[in-house]
């Protein structure tokens, strides 16, 4: 209520002052300019409570906009971080598969006459590096030195004794549990 009475008293005081100034000034071209300035000052005084209202809120508006920008920036950074971590995990998986293949390929060729065509790893969803391996799927093929022959792939879900023997061999070589390894053997005829 105090703001309203202060505002009304400013308006009344200004109107009295404007009337006094207008009575003091003689008629002429200078009076037009004084009336224009007095009118502009009157408009300013009339809207001064609105200016005070917006002046206080501008700072809070800028603060809220800044907070929103900071939150957006943090979300973008978090998104980029997750993308980088995902690409890093994919790279680590690829490198682990290459290393496992390099470790086993020579011995598999010598012992069983098989080559490793593909290794795929399934890892646990955790933040640890290197990630914990949950399963290893190994694609093997018989090595032939003769002319290209047609390939016939036999996939049987049950493990044969040869598959178990190869899985045991790879588990020992890689230092993992045999139950983690799944063997797929391509037979060439």
Higher pLDDT, 16 or 51: 16
Positive or negative, the Cα torsion across 79, 84, 88, 91?
positive
Same domain, 10 and 57: yes
Same domain, 63 and 96: no
Dump pLDDT digits (tens) for 72-88: 999 999 999 999 988 88
Question: Is 80 within the bounds of a domain?
Answer: no
Same domain, 40 and 130: no
Range of the domain at 45: 2-69
Same domain, 14 and 99: no
What HEC string does 108-171 produce?
A: HHHHHCEEEEEEEEEECCCCCCCCCEEEEEEEEEECCCCCCCCEECCCCCCCCHHHHHHHHHHH
Same domain, 59 and 94: no
Same domain, 110 and 182: yes
Number of domains in the chain: 2
pTM over 0.85: no
Dump pLDDT digits (tens) for 112-165: 778 888 888 777 777 666 667 778 888 888 766 555 555 555 554 444 777 788
Question: Is 178 within the bounds of a domain?
Answer: yes
Same domain, 157 and 112: yes
């Amino acid at each position: 209520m105090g703001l309203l009475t202060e505002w009304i008293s400013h308006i009344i005081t200004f109107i009295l002052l404007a009337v006094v100034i207008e009575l003091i000034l003689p008629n002429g071209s200078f009076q037009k300019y004084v009336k224009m300035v007095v009118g502009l000052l009157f408009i300013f005084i009339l809207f001064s409570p609105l200016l005070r209202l917006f002046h206080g809120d501008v700072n809070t508006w800028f603060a809220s906009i800044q907070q929103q920008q900071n939150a957006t920036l943090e979300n973008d950074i978090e998104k980029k971080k997750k993308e980088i971590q995902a690409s890093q995990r994919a790279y680590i998986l690829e490198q682990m598969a290459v290393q496992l293949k390099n470790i086993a390929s020579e011995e598999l060729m010598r012992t069983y006459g098989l080559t490793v065509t593909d290794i795929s790893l399934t890892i646990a969803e955790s933040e640890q590096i290197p990630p914990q391996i949950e399963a290893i799927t190994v694609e093997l093929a018989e090595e032939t030195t003769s002319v290209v022959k047609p390939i016939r792939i036999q996939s049987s879900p049950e493990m044969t004794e040869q598959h178990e023997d190869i899985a045991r061999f790879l588990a020992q070589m890689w230092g993992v549990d045999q139950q983690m390894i799944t063997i797929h053997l391509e037979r060439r005829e």
